[in-house]
Amino acid sequence: MSACLTCNCRQPLGFGIKMAFQPIVDISSQSVFAYEALVRGENGEGAGQVLGQVTGKNKYTFDQTCRVKAIETASRINIPGDLSINFMPNAIYEPETCLATTLETAKTTNFDRNKIIFEVTEQEQVVSQEFLVEVFEAYRKEGFRTAIDDFGSGYAGLNLLSDFQPDILKIDMKLIRDIYQSKVKQTLVRSIQQISEELGIQLIAEGIETEEEYKYLRDNGMTLMQGYYFQKPLLEAIQHVNFP
């Protein structure tokens, strides 16, 4: 892969980052399905403070740095299961070329590329949905799995799903919050479950914070879950998950 000549790949980031990891659990097997890598500041500052420093000039460098840091740290702390990495589609210029650093990092750290999931939030308004589909297809070609985060909340929704079927959908936490007492949310989530099942897409409920949310989802067929109810993100570390 050649160097990308159209992006700001030499723009310095200007600040340091670390990665925190939060488990995505499979309650049916009482195991960790994957860990999501979440950006933090060099001293553990929250994602909001870090993202506030991202600009049009350094977004490519930020996106690439996050990928490298996630893979390097995951390899160093020897995470079990798979690794989910968020990416910024608006920071990508040429999908295959922009994957070069990711592939090289996986190779040098002996991290299996087939364990990597790339997820994009539906809340990010991409310049072109057609280009996002092109990005997803390039990633799948290289052996990576793909996910749409915050599904049901943003710009893409069913239109994106009609053009590209990712491996995973993550239901937006706003649909999960207090779902046990909302008929509307229950109906919407049930519809997403049916769509995912018929399209062969794995489904994750994220943002679970209470026992009531957990029990409702468990009793209604959801097996992959993520949220503070199970474990908060840990900075450059993982620990045993105590399943309910």
Instruction: Please report the pLDDT score of residue 156 as a whole number.
Output: 56
> Per-residue DSSP letters for 136-186?
HHHHHHTT-EEEEEEETSSS-HHHHHHH---SEEEE-HHHHTTGGG-HHHH
- Contact in structure between 58 and 88 (CB atoms under 8 Å): no
Identify residue 233 by its one-letter amino acid code.
P
Q: How far apart are CA 90 and CA 125, in angstroms?
A: 9
Element at 58 (helix H, strand E): none
Instruction: Please report the pLDDT score of residue 1 as a whole number.
Output: 42
Instruction: Please report the pLDDT score of residue 123 as a whole number.
Output: 53
Instruction: Please report the pLDDT score of residue 126 as a whole number.
Output: 59
Q: How far apart are CA 193 and CA 220, in angstroms?
A: 10
Element at 99 (helix H, strand E): none
> Nearest 5°: CA angle at 169, between 166 and 173?
155
Instruction: Please report the pLDDT score of residue 6 as a whole number.
Output: 46
Which is it for strands 17-26 and 234-235: parallel, antiparallel or unpaired? antiparallel
Taking only the tens place, the pLDDT of each residue in 76-105 is 999 988 999 998 877 776 777 778 889 999
Instruction: Please report the pLDDT score of residue 124 as a whole number.
Output: 58
| 217 CB neighbour count, 10 Å cutoff | 22
Q: How far apart are CA 147 and CA 130, in angstroms?
A: 16
Instruction: Please report the pLDDT score of residue 125 as a whole number.
Output: 59
Which is it for strands 234-235 and 31-41: parallel, antiparallel or unpaired? unpaired
Q: Please name each of the domains of the chain with its CATH number.
A: 18-231 (3.20.20.450)
Q: How far apart are CA 225 and CA 86, in angstroms?
A: 17
All residue ranges of the chain with pLDDT < 50 are 1-8
Instruction: Please report the pLDDT score of residue 72 as a whole number.
Output: 98
The pTM for the full model equals 0.91
Strands (E), 177-219: 202-205
